[in-house]
Chain A
Amino acid sequence: MPLLQIDSLTVDYPTRNGTVRAVNDVSIALEKGQTLGIVGESGCGKSTLGLAVIRLIPPPGVLTEGSIRIDGTDVVHLPENQVRELRGKVGFIFQDPMTSLNPVKRIGDHFIEFMRAHDKKISREEALERSGKILESLGILRERINDYPHQFSGGMRQRVMIGLGLALSPKLLIADEPTTSLDVIVEAQILELMNKLKKEYNLTLILITHNIGIVAEMSDLVAVMYAGRVVELGPTDRIFENPLHPYTKGLLESAPNIVHPERSMHPIPGSPPDLISPPTGCKFHPRCPHAFEPCPLSEPALATKERQLVACHLYD
Chain B
Amino acid sequence: MDSTQLLKGVLDVAVLAVIEHEDGYGYDIVRRLKQAGLSEVGDASVYGTLRRLFTAGALNSYVVASDDGPHRKYYGINETGIKMLAEQRKSWASFSTQMTNLLSNSRGGKK
**Chains A and B belong together in one complex:** no
